[in-house]
Amino acid sequence: MSDAPITTRTEGEIPAVADARAEPDGHGVGNGVGVGNGVSLAKPPLPPGDEPPRAAVPDEAQQEPPVRDEPPPPPEPSPDALLIRRTLDEIAPVADRVTSYFYALLFVYFPDLRVLFPGQMDVQRDRLFKSLLTAAEHVDNPQKLGAYLAQLGRGHRKYGTRAEYYPAVGECLLAALAQHATCTWDEDTEAAWVRAYTAVSQIMIDAADEDARHTPPWWLAEVVSHDQRTSDIAIITVRPDQHYPFTPGQYTAVETPWWPRVWRHYSFACAPRSDNLLSFHVRAVPAGWVSGALVQRARPGDVIRLGPATGNLTVDHDTDNALLFLGGGTGIAPIRALVEDVAKHTPSVGWHRRVELFYGARRPDDLYDMDTQRRWEQAYPWLTLHPVVGDLPAAVGQHGPWPGFTAYLAGPLGMVRSGVAALAASGIPEQRIHHDSLEELLYYGK
Ligand SMILES: NC(=O)C1=CN([C@@H]2O[C@H](COP(=O)(O)OP(=O)(O)OC[C@H]3O[C@@H](n4cnc5c(N)ncnc54)[C@H](O)[C@@H]3O)[C@@H](O)[C@H]2O)C=CC1
């Protein structure tokens, strides 16, 4: 690999992230279908997967014509799901107004709950309401929904959420919906929402209770180093106050002492280390409360809070597919963790797994992590590094096709979106393209 980064032509500005109502991706809650009797969730449908293996047949010509393994049609939505979606369709054009009304009700009728929310109700406010709606919308997809809600319930422990708060939130949610879905709201709809909300909150409460048996709601972590890489990017290393379990590729929520109750997500930039230290790559973005504080203010000795690790951007070590890693800007952080993870699983001699690593930035100076990657390139014969200045997905597409590869992407939402399209076009099936939930990426690192 030559030292010179690949430079791709960008036609004018790279399109800004536009769609603030991104669909959840495969790691999210999926495509709600099925039953939904309110308090218990239905048996999961069979998971979609690769084409199932066909039995060996000595002479196919003598057999019955083979039955093609078509995916089964999605089950019919339940009556409750239909009613819930009807409400959601009606409120979609006025979602902002419904959100404001919901919080106004919550804080007027339950003022004690105000302290759970940050002073600035920007991102957090959107997230709570979106999560509620997402969960309600997908109440029929028990397998993915169950995992999503359990994660949500566990994640809420760091906010100080308690079981007794759920009815208050539910009451205000339904009142806000009833007030704005005037054409479709009726007794049956209300009953469907009550059943859905009861089921959703019970899963969250149970998951939080179970988690509380063995895990703290948050971790305190002392900053041990602050390495300013560019005027707006820093690599921050922290020491949690107790063992912090996570898998390479995951992320966590971070709160700084300067903006209490404002939590933002950052990926771990390392695999678990024997000294228990964790590192994060942070770019201070405009109007970024937490990112600005971490880059401009945090210094060794400061103490931040961490939520539990979450996310599914993890490498499967039971297969030996070649790996294609795409890290855009500070999105290189989880990719770093994944490369360390692969290195740990790679014997020093003999078998190895091929890794193609694309690392992109808008300007050469923004390739702030080249030192580490050059070291890797020299140490790991199985790794090929492709630094890219400019449009990363276009560069990856130009180097393709990539049949047989499994891909991992991390970076700006627009890059991940167009990266997925470029990889799909270059021969990688959708189920082998991994990235964090697009909805989550909206709130990353702000
Ligand atoms: N798990 C994840 O996916 C992680 C995501 N991030 C996110 O990554 C982002 C990194 O931002 P910066 O460092 O400012 O990166 P950046 O804006 O400098 O872009 C990095 C690379 O992505 C390309 N790119 C950017 N927007 C694009 C678009 N719309 N279409 C195609 N290519 C595009 C750029 O050309 C460049 O090669 C942050 O938004 C952060 O929140 C950060 C860490 C982990």
Q: Residues 151-167: what's their mean pLDDT?
A: 92
Which is the closest atom of ligand 1 to the Cα of 410?
Answer: 3
Residue 20 domain flag: no
Residue 15, both tokens: 């399109």
* In the predicted structure, residue 30 carries a pLDDT above the cut 50: no
Whether the CB of 411 sits within 6 Å of ligand 1 = yes
Q: For all residues of the chain together, what is the average pLDDT?
A: 83
CATH of the domain at 201: 1.10.490.10
Reported ipTM: the value is 0.96
What integer pLDDT is reported at residue 22 of this predicted model? 31
* In the predicted structure, residue 436 carries a pLDDT above the cut 90: yes
Same domain? For 372 and 428 the reply is yes
Write the burial class of residue 235 (CB in 10 Å: 0-12 exposed, 13-18 middle, 19+ buried).
buried
Whether the CB of 230 sits within 6 Å of ligand 1 = no
**Rounded distance, CA 219 to CA 242, Å?**
7
For 176-230, the pLDDT digits (tens) are: 999 999 999 999 999 999 999 999 999 999 999 999 999 999 999 999 999 999 9
For ligand 1, the distance from its centroid to the CA atom of residue 361, given in whole angstroms, is 8
User: Lowest mean pLDDT: which of 113-127, 206-220, 279-293, 415-429?
Assistant: 113-127
Residue 383 domain flag: yes
pTM of the model: 0.79
Whether the CB of 441 sits within 6 Å of ligand 1 = yes
Residue 372 domain flag: yes
Q: Is 421 helix (H, G, I), strand (E, B) or coil?
A: helix
Residue 44 domain flag: no
Residue 255 domain flag: yes
Which is the closest atom of ligand 1 to the Cα of 389?
Answer: 37
Same domain? For 241 and 269 the reply is yes
Residue 36 domain flag: no
Same domain? For 76 and 207 the reply is yes
Note whether 131 and 203 are within 8 A (CB). no
Whether the CB of 388 sits within 6 Å of ligand 1 = yes
What integer pLDDT is reported at residue 14 of this predicted model? 26
Same domain? For 154 and 229 the reply is no
Same domain? For 272 and 362 the reply is no
- In the chain, DSSP finds a helix count (H) and a strand count (E) of 12, 12
For 342-355, the pLDDT digits (tens) are: 999 987 767 789 99
What integer pLDDT is reported at residue 4 of this predicted model? 55
> Strand pairing partners for 208?
none
Same domain? For 269 and 379 the reply is no
Those residues with Cβ within 8 angstroms of residue 399's Cβ, 6 or more apart along the chain or in another chain: 356, 358, 386
Same domain? For 198 and 123 the reply is yes
Whether the CB of 415 sits within 6 Å of ligand 1 = yes
Report which protein residue has its CA nearest ligand 1's atom 12: 329
Return the sign of the alpha-carbon dihedral for residues 55, 60, 65, 70.
Answer: positive
For 378-400, the pLDDT digits (tens) are: 999 999 999 999 999 999 999 98
Residue corresponding to tokens 């992230």: 17
Number of domains in the chain: 3
User: Lowest mean pLDDT: which of 39-53, 257-271, 293-307?
Assistant: 39-53
Report which protein residue has its CA nearest ligand 1's atom 31: 415
Whether the CB of 396 sits within 6 Å of ligand 1 = no
Mean pLDDT highest for which of 8-17, 121-130, 293-302? 293-302
Whether the CB of 310 sits within 6 Å of ligand 1 = no
Whether the CB of 311 sits within 6 Å of ligand 1 = no
For 400-430, the pLDDT digits (tens) are: 899 899 999 999 999 999 999 999 999 899 9
What integer pLDDT is reported at residue 70 of this predicted model? 62
What integer pLDDT is reported at residue 124 of this predicted model? 67
Same domain? For 409 and 324 the reply is yes
Which is the closest atom of ligand 1 to the Cα of 446?
Answer: 41
147, 181, 212 - which closes a domain:
212
CATH of the domain at 237: 2.40.30.10
Whether the CB of 329 sits within 6 Å of ligand 1 = yes
Q: Residues 313-339: what's their mean pLDDT?
A: 96
Same domain? For 204 and 79 the reply is yes
Q: Residues 136-157: what's their mean pLDDT?
A: 85
For ligand 1, the distance from its centroid to the CA atom of residue 417, given in whole angstroms, is 11
Q: Residues 326-354: what's their mean pLDDT?
A: 91
| Domain residue limits at 169 | 72-212
Same domain? For 257 and 364 the reply is no
**Rounded distance, CA 223 to CA 299, Å?**
7
Q: What's the per-residue H, E or C state across 309-344?
A: CECCCCCCCCCCCEEEEEEEHHHHHHHHHHHHHHHH
Same domain? For 182 and 294 the reply is no
Query: What's the gap between Cα 31 and its chain centre?
Result: 16
What integer pLDDT is reported at residue 398 of this predicted model? 93
Report which protein residue has its CA nearest ligand 1's atom 7: 411
For ligand 1, the distance from its centroid to the CA atom of residue 190, given in whole angstroms, is 42
CATH of the domain at 333: 3.40.50.80
What integer pLDDT is reported at residue 48 of this predicted model? 37
For a mutational test of ligand 1's pocket, the pick from 338, 370, 392, i.e. the residue with the most ligand atoms closer than 8 A to its C-beta, is 392
284, 306, 328 - which closes a domain:
306
Report which residue type is found at 346. Answer: T
For ligand 1, the distance from its centroid to the CA atom of residue 420, given in whole angstroms, is 13
Q: Residues 353-375: what's their mean pLDDT?
A: 95
Those residues with Cβ within 8 angstroms of residue 256's Cβ, 6 or more apart along the chain or in another chain: 262, 290, 293, 294, 297, 298, 302, 304
What integer pLDDT is reported at residue 6 of this predicted model? 61
For 129-144, the pLDDT digits (tens) are: 677 777 777 778 888 7
175, 195, 212 - which closes a domain:
212
* In the predicted structure, residue 105 carries a pLDDT above the cut 60: yes
Residue 4 domain flag: no
Write the burial class of residue 230 (CB in 10 Å: 0-12 exposed, 13-18 middle, 19+ buried).
middle
Report which protein residue has its CA nearest ligand 1's atom 21: 328
Same domain? For 265 and 342 the reply is no
* In the predicted structure, residue 36 carries a pLDDT above the cut 60: no
Residue 30 domain flag: no
Report which protein residue has its CA nearest ligand 1's atom 29: 414
